[in-house]
Amino acid sequence: MNPLSDRVKYLTESATLAMTRLSRELTAQGLDVINLSIGEPDFDTPTFVKEAAKKAIDDNWTHYPPVPGYADLREAVSLKLKRDNNLDYTPEQIVVSTGAKQALTNVMLSLVNPGEEVIVPTPFWVSYSELIKLAEGKAVYINASLENRFKITPQQLEEAITEKTKLVMFNSPNNPTGSVYSREELEEIAKVLERHPHVYVIADEIYEYITFGIAHYSLATFSSIKDRIIIINGVSKGYAMTGWRLGYSVSSLEIAKACNKIQGQITSGTCSITQRAALAALLKGPNENPELVSMVEIFRKRRDLLGSLLKEIPGFKVDIPDGAFYIFPDISELFGKTMANGTVINNDDELCMYLLKEAQVALVSGSSFGNPKCIRFSYATSDERLMEAVKRIKKALA
Helix (H, G, I), strand (E, B) or coil at 298: helix
Closer CB to ligand GLU, residue 89 or residue 239? Answer: 239
Q: Report whether 326 contacts 377 (CB < 8 A).
A: yes
Binding residues vs ligand GLU (CB under 6 A): 14, 16-17, 38-40, 125-127, 175
34 contacts: CB under 8 Å, gap ≥ 6? 360, 361, 362, 381, 385, 388, 389, 392
Closest CB 126 distance from ligand PMP, rounded Å:
8
- CB 98, min distance to ligand GLU, A: 12
Q: Are 236 and 206 in contact (CB under 8 A)?
A: yes
Q: Based on CB atoms, which residue is closest to ligand GLU, 236 or 289?
A: 236
User: 14 contacts which partner out of ligand PMP, ligand GLU, none, CB within 5 to 8 A by kind?
Assistant: ligand GLU
Return the number of other C-beta atoms located less than 10 Å from residue 261's C-beta: 15
Nearest-approach distance from CB 302 to ligand GLU, in angstroms: 16
Complex with ligand PMP: residue 96 or 361, whichever CB lies closer: 96
Nearer to ligand GLU, 185 or 322 (CB): 322
Residue 17 partner contact from ligand GLU, ligand PMP, none using kind-dependent CB cut-offs of 5 to 8 Å: ligand GLU
Nearest to 12 by CA among 142, 132, 168, 176: 132
Minimal distance, residue 361 CB to ligand GLU, in Å:
15
The rounded distance, in Å, linking the Cα atoms of 23 and 376 is 15
38 binding partner (options ligand GLU, ligand PMP, none; Cβ < 5 to 8 Å by kind): ligand GLU
Contact 273, 61 (CB under 8 A): yes
Report residue 168 CA to chain centroid gap: 15
Quick check: 370 and 124 in contact, CB under 8 A?
yes
Q: Which amino acid is at 268?
A: S
Residue whose C-beta lies closest to ligand PMP: 99
Nearest distance, CB of residue 100 and ligand PMP, angstroms: 3
**Partner whose footprint covers residue 171, from ligand PMP, ligand GLU, none (CB < 5 to 8 Å by kind):** ligand PMP
